[in-house]
Chain A
Amino acid sequence: MAQSRINPVKVKDIGKPAEVLSPVNLQELAPLPPPYDQDDPATLWKELTAERRAQVEASLDGVSALSLKRPESPEEEKKLLEGFVSGLKKLLSKENNWTFLQPLALSLEHCTHCQTCAEACPIFVGSGRNEVYRPSYRADVLRRLAARWGNGGNPLKSALTGSVDLNWSTVARLAELAHRCTLCRRCTQACPIGVDNGLISHELRKLFSQELGIAAQECHRSGSVQQLKVGSSTGMPPMVVKDNIEFIDEEMSQKVGFKIETPWDKAGADVLLIHNAGEILSWPENPGAFAVMLEMAGISWTLSSDIAGYDAVNYGLWYDDFQFARVALKHAEIAKKLGVKKIVIGECGHAHKALSVIADRIFSQEYNIPRESCLTLMEDIVMSGRLKLLPERNDFPVTLHDPCNMVRAMGIVMPQRRILHKIAPRFREMVPHGVENYCCGGGSGFAIMNPNNFASWKYLVAGRIKLKQILDAFQGELDPSIPKYLCAPCSNCKGQFRDLFRAYNVFERSNLLYGGLVELIVNAIADIPEGFLEWEFH
């Protein structure tokens, strides 16, 4: 086990007064491969100004993801602490938390602190082993609070578990700490007992959101609330999304040489395709490529223009069971209304898990429309021979990122690989890959969260091990004269790669482009002109 080299904070210190409990140490960050090892991390680090520090809580590590305001009076603090304890009790109750009570109770009660999980965490390792990012750290704070303040808490149990002070610092730092974990659950995979510290981060976020109304505003106010109200977390109402898709169709028609027209609200279609709506705005070639592929493969499909029906995102997955259920039910209602045979989820990892796995047990019969990954549908199309493919059109080094939610959380491992082996002759794996992959560093909402100096933390810490892994996959070929492609079939992961690559100038320095899987498939279709894939970074 590697030794932690920085400030050795203990679990009990969480509530102790300190301007910054365990700061990000730029000298201790995990090294990147050459030539990126020569970069000065200080150029990416954004220190909060004294003025901003006075406004928002950043005393955990000098970073603020939630922009929490300190209580202005002892009464306000008391009310918040009472709310926290009340939420903790609800988290441990059958009525309020039947959804995850069993896994939570098991994880709270059986950790032996062997630290087998620690080295599996890319954030802990990437940070240079900052103690507060240790997977067991935040879980232990919750264990101690639950032993003392939870339902049936007793003094003996509390003494054996250990204690922490219950004060504003503890609660605020814990809220921030719940946002220093991407919920990738790599730590859980390593645990010999089956303790799930990733789940504990998830449950902590729920406690804050469902009881205290504290959540990342990008996930809640601008995310799930906006999606339910306007139709999409991007802010696009139905009319705008239709206009945008029409524009994309025109672009695609020009590129492929025949008319592409996306079907809308087609009752009785075989497939209701739901994209992450972020694709439409940020990577329009992705929904465009889907339209081309599905039309050419003769699939009966449709998009929906109903509220939430054209946006597969479900940010509630990361922080709130009820927001999660509200969006999932919308998706199911729309599929039922259209009478489709199945919902196919576009290239979006968390939407895959949300609709296929987590929502599975809240759908009653009439709403339980089958849901399927686009990866399996694409494999079916590619392997069936319905499209004539020219793999030489993708004759450049390609590696594959495994989105945690599709792979570790759903076991969809091989379809994307079988496709790549067929259409990308220079495909190579990262190490490790498949269910042992590393998170992109943008999981659990981080990809869309950039408040205060959180973005610089993502670039330097959360995405560090992934960046290293990607660069390692192309060692010897990092020269910009060699075009390279990172295939990332997930919108949130792509958002993280866009920002990460921009921060490190990866495209300019190494000619490394990122993008989805469907674009590579369409790029290889013999019946459309060469050059579907435009080598432009955006």
Chain B
Amino acid sequence: MGLLHVWVYLTLAGFVLGCAYKAIKYATMPMHLRWELYPVAHEKGKAAYGGSYFEEVDWWTKPRESSRLGEIRVILEEVVTLKQVREHNPGLWLPSLLFHYGLYLLFALGAALLVGGMAVAVGFKPLVFLAGGKLMSIWGGMGLALATLGTSLLLLRRLGQAELRRSSSPADFVHLWLFLILFAVSWGSFLTFDRSYLQAGNFLAGLVKGEAISPGSAWFVAQVAILGLFLIYMPWSHMAHMFTKYFTWHSVRWEDLPNLPGTGIEKKARKLLMLPVSWAAPHIRGDGKKTWVDVAQEGGN
């Protein structure tokens, strides 16, 4: 097993663990007070105009009609068309769309090559074509082209547009430059060494089998090295929105479950209300012993 393989194992593990850590962190945070924002996508028959079950007289006596499909449709529309950006920030839409489509293609390419590598490793011929070849060359070339163009336009916009530049954080620039460096190196590998992605497929097959494969090109090594850095870093940056969006939308914006018998909300709330508070303002005087509910039942003068 080569050093580069070890790097890939480590960074892939880092990526998976980082994502898992973040997802578990958010998933295990305490139940929050309701803070939904309409339209709520699962409101059957009402989501189109932003309505809710609160529109019904005696709403608590009526069955709630919730549509998981409604949520999936909105999320898919957002992922595929970047609807919010298109409607509220049209100037940014095309660069962002190119960038995201490029990433979607490259991410899918990586997954396909890995599957192809596994197919090679186990001798499963129907999927061996995924380990490199003409199709993968077109696929990868398109992905790189879209991602590079999108990233360049995003960076130019962030550098050139005064209001975007001054409201950016250092990380916003670092991410875009890192992407550009990654794509530049990937182009180097693509154009000079591995246009068919056969080497990448071989490399991944070796990864699956645990056999050392010579990378064969400095471009290829640099590409894998930088990609690995990205994988480790991504879950800790705002780029984690690729999966934390589930929480911002599903667990906050659309979280409208009422506290009715059988929902388990009251049981969870009872525990949380017993947490000690230490807020220091005179109308609270939390001492780390008084519980949340103790303070809430005081006079508040």
State the A residues within 8 Å of B (CB).
1, 3-4, 8-11, 83, 86-87, 90, 94-96, 98-103, 105-107, 109-117, 119-120, 129, 131, 134, 136-137, 140, 143, 159-162, 185, 188-196, 199, 209-213, 220, 224-225, 228-229, 320, 322-323, 325-326, 329, 342, 356-365, 368, 370, 372-373, 376-377, 379-380, 407-415, 434-436
Contact = CB atoms under 8 A, between A and B. Distances in A.
A115 B60 contact: no
30 contacts: A1-B89, A1-B164, A3-B163, A4-B162, A9-B166, A87-B279, A96-B286, A98-B272, A100-B33, A102-B29, A112-B238, A115-B92, A136-B167, A162-B169, A210-B281, A213-B281, A228-B299, A228-B300, A322-B284, A322-B296, A342-B58, A358-B33, A361-B259, A368-B266, A372-B57, A407-B38, A408-B37, A413-B55, A414-B51, A434-B49
Contact of B49 (A210, A380, A413): A413
Nearest to A358: B33
A375 to B, nearest CB: 8
A100 B29 CA distance: 10
A94 B286 CA distance: 15
B97 to A, nearest CB: 11
Given A102-B30, A229-B301, A4 B163 contact: yes
A359 B265 CA distance: 12
Nearest to A377: B57
Given A95-B277, A192-B84, A414-B55, 10 more contacts: A1-B161, A102-B252, A115-B92, A131-B166, A193-B245, A356-B54, A361-B265, A370-B58, A372-B54, A373-B54
A96 B89 CA distance: 37
Interface size class of B (residues with CB under 8 A): 35 or more
Contacts of B82: 192
A158 to B, nearest CB: 10
B169 A160 contact: yes
Contact of A376 (B34, B54, B168): B54
Contacts of A87: 279-280
A322 B248 contact: no
Contacts of B275: 94-96, 98
B85 A110 contact: no
A364 B36 contact: no
A111 B244 CA distance: 12
Contact of A94 (B30, B38, B58, B87): B30
B194 interface: no
B59 interface: yes
Interface string B187-214: 0000000000000000000000000000
Given A8-B162, A190-B84, A376-B56, A229 B39 contact: no
Contacts of B39: 411, 435
Find the residue from B37, B261, B282 having the highest chain A CB count within 10 A. B37
Contact of A90 (B53, B163, B169, B279): B279
B170 interface: yes
B283 interface: yes
Contacts of A83: 280
A197 B282 CA distance: 28
A536 to B, nearest CB: 33
A103 B32 CA distance: 8
Contacts of B125: none
Contacts of B244: 106, 109-110
Nearest to B164: A115
B29 A161 contact: no
Contacts of A96: 275, 277-279, 286
Nearest to B233: A160
A30 B74 CA distance: 33
Interface string B157-195: 000011110111111101000000000000000000000
B230 interface: no
A2 to B, nearest CB: 9
B32 A100 contact: yes
A489 B278 CA distance: 39
Contact of A225 (B247, B252, B300): B300
A399 B215 CA distance: 70
A363 B259 contact: yes
A226 to B, nearest CB: 9
Contacts of A101: 29-30, 32
A519 B152 CA distance: 58
B273 interface: yes
Nearest to A100: B32
Contacts of A160: 169-171, 174, 237
Contacts of B237: 160
A365 B264 CA distance: 11
A116 B88 contact: yes
B280 to A, nearest CB: 5
Find the residue from B33, B91, B164 having the highest chain A CB count within 10 A. B33
Find the residue from B31, B83, B87, B279 having the highest chain A CB count within 10 A. B279
A209 B284 CA distance: 10
Nearest to A144: B169
Nearest to B59: A372
A120 B253 CA distance: 17
A116 B26 contact: no
Interface string B68-101: 0000000000100011110111011000100000
B137 interface: no
Nearest to B252: A103
Contacts of A114: 85, 89, 92, 96
Contacts of B272: 98
Nearest to A198: B37
Given A86-B280, A192-B82, A193-B248, A112 B54 contact: no
Given A194-B253, A413-B51, A361 B31 contact: yes
Contact of B166 (A10, A159, A161, A193): A10
B219 to A, nearest CB: 28
A161 B170 contact: yes
B240 interface: yes
B13 to A, nearest CB: 21
Nearest to B281: A213
Nearest to B38: A411
A269 B134 CA distance: 77
Nearest to B154: A114
B139 interface: no
Given A115-B163, A196-B252, A358-B33, A364 B266 contact: yes
Nearest to A356: B54
B75 to A, nearest CB: 11
A491 B174 CA distance: 48
The 8 closest A-B pairs by CB, nearest first: A411-B52, A194-B248, A435-B50, A192-B84, A325-B296, A98-B30, A116-B89, A160-B171
A358 B35 CA distance: 7
A302 B249 CA distance: 39
A502 to B, nearest CB: 32
